[in-house]
Structure 1
Amino acid sequence: MAPVNPFRDINITASASHYTFGSPSSPHAPALVIDRPSGDMRLIESPILGGKRMGSVAGVLGIIRLRLDKYIIIITKAMLVGRIRGHAVYKVQTTEFLPLQERLLHDPDEDTYMSLLRTHLRTGPMYFSYTFDLTNSFQRQSSADTSLPLWQQADERFFWNRYIQSDLIDLRSSNPAVDPFILPVFFGFLSITTTALKSTPLRFILITRKSRHRAGTRHFTRGVDESGNVANFNETEQIIIIGDSIGGLGGYDQNSISSEGKTPTQQVKVFSYVQTRGSVPVYWAEVNNLHYTPQLQVRGVDYAMNSTKKHFDDQIRLYGDNYLVNLVNQKGREHRVKTAYEHIVRLLVSSPVEGKEGSEKTLERFRRIGPTKGANTFNQLHYVYFDFHHECGGMKWHRAQLLLEQLGDGLYDQQYFHTVEGRGVSSDIRSYQKSVVRTNCMDCLDRTNVVQGMLARWTLNRQMIDAGVLEKGENTASFNNFEVIFRNAWADNADIVSRAYSGTGALKTDFTRTGVRTKAGAIADLLNSITRYFRNNFSDGPRQDAYDLFLGVHLPPATAMSSLLFIDHRPIMIQSIPYVLCGAILLELAAFVLPRTTDGSPLGMRIFVLFWLVVALWAANFVTKHGKLYVNWPRLNTPGFAVQGYNEELSSAKKDLIIGKWIGRGGNVRERSSSTGASGRLIHLEEGKKRIE
């Protein structure tokens, strides 16, 4: 039975009473009608007459309900980025919202919701294919039921628009003919390059899929939640295809070839290697307070045990043995996260066996925690700690290769997925990947990128030697043309994953791109770190709100009256301090820059300068001391630690000798939330947000 794939082209007709969606390339297929303003949906065999044709779109991304209305999100423009085994792959470029109601008046909350969604869709890299399941690795696809519609084959973790497709999926329960309108999209990175290695033509593909569970920004989403989902979880798959004659952006369409009865006999070899990354799976958070280093909070391991078990149950089911590579620092503030991770691994595995190794630079370069053989599911966890900063400090990142020795036989026994296939011929699977390396640092970004690239290189060399492309002892790094492609793909991947989580490109990408750590790269990293500081404190709140809104973590209340959820409810005196600081600095500069009159009093000018200097110093001290009052927190699902920190800082600010008595008239988060009807949402939040389907 042929699979049901999404429509490649959809025409839209709009009228005052409905929208009609139909595919001109499938004229006998039912059309989808969405009534206005109710949003009721149905499929019809004959198109409804009337209405104005709006044009053709690449697909329906989904339908989302905001506070006052429902909106149909359509993909108006998609760019072809390449082909995988003949299947065209596209990147979403532009989208548009079709409202079910025509509103003459603007509502502040509704407008802000729309702005958050538009920004998310404009900046979030999303990819899709009409005929190929991009959400699953090649290995998972090998055991998939290809007779199912494409959206039902998708891995629900990486089905990024799953929530906004829920209306169409609900309709599907009564009418399967809606399947071609459901288009799964994944969020992350995709690179497809046709190249050659040692005169052997091949295709190099790198895919990173970001999980829609516990998705968010760097300091507002950490650790694990109650369902076992961890922050910044990404699956990265490196694919090599040898013997595929299809061009990168051109080439044939597999469906058309099949219909012509042509079956090429050339063997195609596919090699796939999967790695994962994700936050340390315990309850921990970093609380922004305008200091460069946020305040770290780590809850007791006992609280997280059930959540951690759920996480690793899922990881073992999906990937087999997990090699847990931990790269956080063993000293300073990160030590508490390292200790918590190791403690919970000891509790999970049976009769843990530990070993550690020191060096000239550190007493603990490596630590290994492994299980004693037994029937315990969690005996498939193998913990390896590597002191990345001490061993690779001074720009000596090639020393990360030492980690390969610690993984040892486990890395070799891991294998990789390898299949030999011909178009129209069943695949011959030669090997499966039996385990996965799960890498993390504090952010699962910069140090993690370096190690993942190193592991990808090691496995790639092994695959090419096994395939006969390279001789034993040869390295892909020796072939410059391929090396440039490999390094740039991994560096671009690092940048995309980092922007989604931290708001800037990755650090250390000069090493990833060139293999050499440079001073210019160190300066670029410094600028990125400074940018991260400002974005994490002052612009990540709206970015977190956009994630929560698009993924269905926050459901806007359907109320007729505006809640003014996004306006600043802080006391006016608190809001005014940064303006006082800026004004004082401006007046100080004016006193030194602007020309003075000859009859002016030097004493008066000195008093003026001294007065505004004292004001500037006091205001700067106030903002720094009460930094949590000036962080741009998420408004839709404010984390519990943010609510607590805000109220504590507000209580402290009320004791200020100069302005405390005026702050007392303002409310804390509990009080200001009650006026917006959001007190329950703000006060009773748990640190692990519940993901709503």
Structure 2
Amino acid sequence: MGVLQRCPSENTEYYLIVVTRCVKVCVLLNSSIYKIQEVDVISLQQPRLPGYKSQDEDNWVKEIKKLMGNESFYFSVSVAGDSRPLDLTLCAQRRARTDISDNRFFWNRMLYLHPKRFDINCDAWLLKVICGSVEFSSVYMGNHAPKLYVISRLSCERAGTRFMMRGVDDYGHVANFVETEELVHVETLDNVILSYVQTRGTVPLFWEQPGLNVGSHKVKMSREPTISGKAFSEHMRFLRHKYGGLAVINVLGTGVTGKSQGEAALSHLFQLQHKTCPWSCDCPHIVFDFHQECRGGNTDNLSRKLQPQIQQQIDSFCLFCLRGGVVVQEQRGVMRTNCLDCLDRTNRIQTFLGLERLDAMLDLLGEAATSGVIKHRLRSKFEDMWKDNGNKISQIYAGTGALQGSKIIDGARSVGRTIQNNLMDSSKQEAIDLLLHGNLLDNYLAALARTVLPQHLQYAPLSVLKSVTDRIPEFSEPLPLKVCVGTYNVNGGKHFRSLAYKHLSLDDWLLDYSNNNGANSEEEKSNKKPPDLFAIGFEEIVDLNASNIMSNTQWSENANSWGHELEKVISRDENFVMVTWAQLVGVALFVFVNEKHAAHVKYVNVHTVKTGMQGNTGNKGAVGIRLLVHNTSIAFVCSHFAAGQKEVNERNQDYDSIARKMIFNLKVPLWAHDYVFWCGDFNYRINLPREEIVRLVKQSEWDLLLEHDQLLLSQKENKCFPGFKEGAIKFAPTYKYDLFSDDYDTSEKARSPAWTDRVLFWRRRYKWQENCPWSHGNIDHYSCAALKQSDHRPVLAAISCEGRKVDEAKLDAVYKEVVSSLGPSDCTVLVQCVSGKQMGEELSEKVLEAVQEAMDALGTLVTVRFQNYNILFTYDSPKQALDAISSSPIKVDGLEFSIKLKTERWQELLEEEMRFCMDTTTPLCTETIPTPPDLPSSTSLLAPSSVRDVLGQLYSQSAQSPMPSPCPSPSFDPGRESSSGSEPPSDDEQTSPRFVPVRPAPVRPAMPSRPPPPRPQYSSPTHGPKETSSASPVISRAASKPVGNSPPLPSPPRSSYSVETVSSAEGSPLDGSSVSSNSGIASSASLSRRDVPLPHYPNTAQQDPSVAATPPSFPSAYELPSIPPPQQAPTLPVENLNSQSPFPPTAEAPPSPHPPAEAPPFLPPPAEAPPSLPPPAEAPPSLPPSVPVRTETSPPLGACILRPNGPVSAGGPPPLPVRGGAGRSGPPSLPARSAVPSLPPRTLPTVPGRALPTVPPRK
């Protein structure tokens, strides 16, 4: 396969990787395709000793063997032996246009680099390996035997495991990008080849999905969407240039339930970027919620709902046809399908598209494939092949096969994925990185080269990288940067939202810091240059309780809220964009960049280190964020060290552990950055008694206090922060205060004041800077702010530093000059005798020794060997070999020897070597895509800045339906109820229940101990309800017709509640509670059954023939009233309070929405007391309606909710008579009610008897 290079500490190690076991899969055209089953890794520098055992190998060697032996890698060998084998990196249509390999699918291309430097014919010695799947089958079609293939090629540009590699990178490469080709070859039918290509890949945004906690695979934006536009545009540009036409099929979920919110928000962000990108705005983006549209595994909906939306693109893109070596038809575009993982749902969509294109392929085959039996055979074969193909891709990315709908199989694979993600993915990811980026890992030189060189030049030989980076000042210019770093221990609170802190402002800390205590000089106050970067760290952003510590909190609502508030505050004068943020339990770090630099930020990465309980818990630890601004690499660290006055050694150990373990992607250590800014609550104390400290603080004797500062004392002994710089401390200790006070701790513990909250920074000095003026940077400001809502004071440091910005034209000139002056990579020269004698035969040992001494004087020799009649001398560096040929010829004992390079075309070979690291993808079709005009700059940045904001945009205040999507799915019905059938599991094995409101529900008002008694009101059949300026909402059921002496009707559905208004008089009991039963009156608001449960009150029968078919008014605790509720409910007489209260005693939890089993659904009116009709229109309005008399057997009072078939009590009080009735001078008393009427007898049909056989007695 090739030679693997490892460069730990810039010492290159070489290992030969060979295939030791493989199995033949099929034959395609003139080549046999093999699947790799086992490989071996052999060191080229340390020979294996006798008794070697594979168990003694390094861990990385075992992981490489395990990776290459998982039966996912394939290579081809020519059947003829002398011809060139089939290039598996190319699809059939590209093979018809070129023979240049596609580096995206060339997985062992980096193993070619070292042999290429020695001018070895790699095509003759090495294999080209792809990763993916090759499925093969054949059928009989009359006199023909077509061969069927499904070939998937996984891209190596952003390769990795499921939860280790997500989204897009800075160059536009997405994770799990797979090109799948469906191919039919009929050799006996004009050697026809039919091919159809489609692609998949994750959403091209910066996002991640932590998979360490089972069931909590929440989507998190690893980089805010506002700075994802450049990478997204690069990805779409590549697809358009290399595939022509493009149609995006987005099958992410659109539901808004808890576990599906992140997926819906990610889909919405994808659509927004798609519309604002100039390369994709004219391409269709079809949103198809697979779980919603194909609920219960009903994939027939794909042809009914999805196909009509994409049929135009399917027909216009066509497919590839090669007949007799002549291209008959080209494919002019591809379908790009994605779900969350691009696994299970994507497999089904691609299977559907492949089978749909199969019919078009058979049409091109002619009459030989028109038989229905033939079509059925081919379709059945391809269905099985597509299923196996999906399993192989899922095995590579997730570690298990694809989910296919079987509960037993899917459950087992879900458990397997959980184990795989938690235990094995990290080691597998390291093996993938080593195979693809071996020489870029774990060395400082490669880390520096990544900051200044383009991607393809980063894989150049180390000698080239060293020579180029030593000349950085020649092709770069200084870039002044101002960085503000703050730290604040917030003691677990949301301080910016509380009314108690409304007089406090974060501006005093972050923006107006020059007015704070500790301003260093007047020059500082005059320095008004806005910051270029903000890094703000928090400690104890959540309570450090056992729940948060054990759950290893990496995302909290509190931290998210702080991030949004910080962005608003710092954007007062200049627009800032959040790059990313990270959290480890109580430690959180936010990084913002000035909007003018947003397009020049890349290589963003996050890492966390735990130090609590010997590195096992995150109650103490650190969060690190690295990024590249232009060409300056910066790392920010926020940490929380061990507490305690005497725990100095533990704090020093915390620092050492974090400094060693803070290693970012591609094994970039903390010290490989240009700048390191370290802030946090370090908990270093002052070695003085508390009384002495307080006295010196009152006298502002900062220098005397700093002489006993534990951090400075440890730093002098090189026990922590060696080489770091800190601003002059001219402010009081920041710990520990009483809340909302300037007094230090007055509690029983009486902790000593100390400068626990600090900001330090470090700058790396390179070799090329040794002879140049150099400084760490200028500390413009260092002070604390008077925010008193915590027991700590926030600290901020403003630092001016020097960055670099590379000039691409100058870099290209320097690189060419370095290459031309450096020499060959093999460092080898050839010495030949030109005096006419044969060197190997006639020269004596004395002459040979003299030649070697002469060559040794020209440089440091590594090896000497013979080749035919020549001598090969290998030097320590290419430069020494290049200098040696300038001494040619040399004379020894009268003989003349010429010196020349063994590899004279070394510059061409270096160009060929770098070509393995470049984009070599040939466009799929001959049609060229013109460069679109740029869209207005206002659309380059998206309005939403996080998943939380996207959800706020997605859904309206009532959370009833999503807002219109920029690319809506015609088949999506946001108001559709969830069916009772089971939902297919998503890619992370989670179902999607119905959504709940995203916005918080309104605060439930306190329920009164006794509701205001309603008063009766006349209602006319010809008039609507009496309208007043005051109204209160009433929950009622919509009646289809007025209620009279009609037979009982079934209850209406529970989803037909509405809110109506009834009149009331201010300051007096209600004049009436009856409202017209006219169902045509429009309701003022609607309350869906899905939103909140309805309250339940005891059902009580009541005789009131004068009350219409609407309930009396009572305040709803689940809807916002249309007017403010009354200040105080009217009181009832004491003598009427002898019955049970109709309302529950407490209102903390909503009562059950279902009535008790013993409560009848309705009670018809008694036969002896028929209800009276409403009064006529001409009746005087002052006459009160008749009121029933209460007896001793009456049930508890309750409000009456009437149904179309009669009144039903729901727990409210009965209506009261009008004030001023006969014989009454005081407030009205509650009248008695009659006894509960008996239920009318029901006549049931006689059940005919059945003759049952006699059961014989048991023996």
Same fold (TM over 0.5): yes
CA distance in 2, matches of 1:669, 1:234: 43
SS in 2 for 1:129: strand
CA distance in 2, matches of 1:166, 1:111: 23
Match of 2:267 among 322, 338, 353: 338
Paired residue for 1:271? 194
Paired residue for 1:493? 389
Matched, 1:467 2:452: no
Match of 2:619 among 653, 658, 668: 653
Matched, 1:674 2:659: yes
Contact (CA 8 Å) 1:189, 1:207: kept in 2 or not? yes
Contact (CA 8 Å) 1:499, 1:505: kept in 2 or not? yes
Displacement, 1:675?
3.3
- Greater relative CO, 1 or 2 (CA 8 Å, sep 6+): 1
Matched, 1:91 2:35: yes
1:547-596 Cα deviation digits (max 9, x unpaired):
1111116744479xxxxxxxxxxxxxxxxxxxxxxxxxxxxxxxxxxxxx
Displacement, 1:476?
6.3
Letter in 1 for 2:425: D
1:244-323, aligned counterparts within 5 Å? 244=188, 267-298=190-221, 299-323=223-247
Letter in 2 for 1:453: T
**Which structure is higher in helix share?**
1
CA distance in 2, matches of 1:341, 1:502: 23
Contact (CA 8 Å) 1:654, 1:664: kept in 2 or not? no
Displacement, 1:233?
0.4
1:57-94 Cα deviation digits (max 9, x unpaired):
xxx44333364732111122332222111322222222
Q: Identify if the C-alpha distance between structure 1 residues 475 and 384 changes in structure 2 by more than 3 Å, giving closer, same or farther.
A: farther
Displacement, 1:458?
0.4
Match of 2:433 among 541, 544, 548: 548
Contact (CA 8 Å) 1:193, 1:204: kept in 2 or not? yes
Contact (CA 8 Å) 1:445, 1:497: kept in 2 or not? yes
Matched, 1:453 2:397: no
Match of 1:410 among 292, 307, 313: 313
Contact (CA 8 Å) 2:154, 2:176: kept in 1 or not? yes
Matched, 1:396 2:362: no
CA distance in 2, matches of 1:184, 1:476: 36
Match of 1:164 among 111, 121, 137: 111
Letter in 2 for 1:493: N
CA distance in 1, matches of 2:655, 2:23: 47
1:649-685 Cα deviation digits (max 9, x unpaired):
9885249xxx998999488997435336947825599
Paired residue for 2:422? 537
Letter in 1 for 2:382: F
Q: Identify if the C-alpha distance between structure 1 residues 118 and 673 changes in structure 2 by more than 3 Å, giving closer, same or farther.
A: farther
1:396-426 Cα deviation digits (max 9, x unpaired):
12212221111021111111000112xxxxx
Letter in 1 for 2:93: Q
TM-score (norm 2): 0.36
Contact (CA 8 Å) 1:81, 1:89: kept in 2 or not? yes
Contact (CA 8 Å) 1:210, 1:233: kept in 2 or not? yes
1:466-615, aligned counterparts within 5 Å? 466-469=364-367, 474=372, 478-479=376-377, 482-508=378-404, 521-552=406-437, 555-557=440-442
Letter in 1 for 2:3: G
Contact (CA 8 Å) 1:230, 1:279: kept in 2 or not? yes
How many pairs does the alignment contain? 485
CA distance in 2, matches of 1:664, 1:478: 75
1:406-454 Cα deviation digits (max 9, x unpaired):
1021111111000112xxxxx1111000000010000000000000000
SS in 2 for 1:496: helix
CA distance in 2, matches of 1:65, 1:654: 34
Moved more, 461-470 or 488-497: 461-470
Contact (CA 8 Å) 2:251, 2:288: kept in 1 or not? yes
CA distance in 2, matches of 1:287, 1:684: 26
Paired residue for 1:228? 172
CA distance in 2, matches of 1:664, 1:286: 37
Structure 2 residues without counterparts, runs of 5 or longer = 78-84, 256-260, 445-544, 555-582, 586-602, 622-641, 674-915, 919-1259
Matched, 1:115 2:62: yes
Q: Identify if the C-alpha distance between structure 1 residues 476 and 92 changes in structure 2 by more than 3 Å, giving closer, same or farther.
A: same
CA distance in 2, matches of 1:651, 1:81: 49
Paired residue for 2:148? 204
Contact (CA 8 Å) 1:650, 1:668: kept in 2 or not? no
Q: Identify if the C-alpha distance between structure 1 residues 178 and 624 changes in structure 2 by more than 3 Å, giving closer, same or farther.
A: closer
Report % sequence identity: 26
Displacement, 1:318?
1.2
SS in 2 for 1:531: helix
1:44-123, aligned counterparts within 5 Å? 60-65=1-6, 67=8, 69-100=13-44, 101-102=46-47, 111-123=58-70
1:367-378, aligned counterparts within 5 Å? 377-378=279-280
Displacement, 1:378?
3.7
SS in 2 for 1:381: coil
Letter in 2 for 1:320: G
> Larger C-alpha radius of gyration, 1 or 2?
2
Paired residue for 2:133? 189
Displacement, 1:645?
8.1
Displacement, 1:187?
0.8
SS in 1 for 2:118: helix
Paired residue for 2:286? 384
SS in 1 for 2:181: strand
Match of 1:132 among 63, 78, 86: 86
Match of 1:141 among 95, 102, 111: 95
Structure 1 residues without counterparts, runs of 5 or longer = 1-59, 146-152, 245-265, 350-376, 422-426, 509-516, 560-617, 631-638
CA distance in 2, matches of 1:238, 1:669: 56
CA distance in 2, matches of 1:678, 1:663: 25
CA distance in 2, matches of 1:394, 1:677: 46
1:479-508 Cα deviation digits (max 9, x unpaired):
3xx444322211111111001111111111
CA distance in 1, matches of 2:330, 2:64: 40
Paired residue for 1:9? none
Letter in 1 for 2:273: I
Letter in 1 for 2:47: E
Displacement, 1:625?
4.6
Letter in 2 for 1:77: R
TM-score (norm 1): 0.63
SS in 1 for 2:306: helix
SS in 1 for 2:145: strand
Q: Identify if the C-alpha distance between structure 1 residues 409 and 623 changes in structure 2 by more than 3 Å, giving closer, same or farther.
A: same
SS in 1 for 2:220: strand
Contact (CA 8 Å) 2:185, 2:191: kept in 1 or not? yes
Displacement, 1:309?
1.4
CA distance in 1, matches of 2:58, 2:651: 27
Moved more, 449-458 or 668-677: 668-677
Contact (CA 8 Å) 1:321, 1:380: kept in 2 or not? no
CA distance in 1, matches of 2:648, 2:70: 38
Q: Identify if the C-alpha distance between structure 1 residues 670 and 305 changes in structure 2 by more than 3 Å, giving closer, same or farther.
A: farther
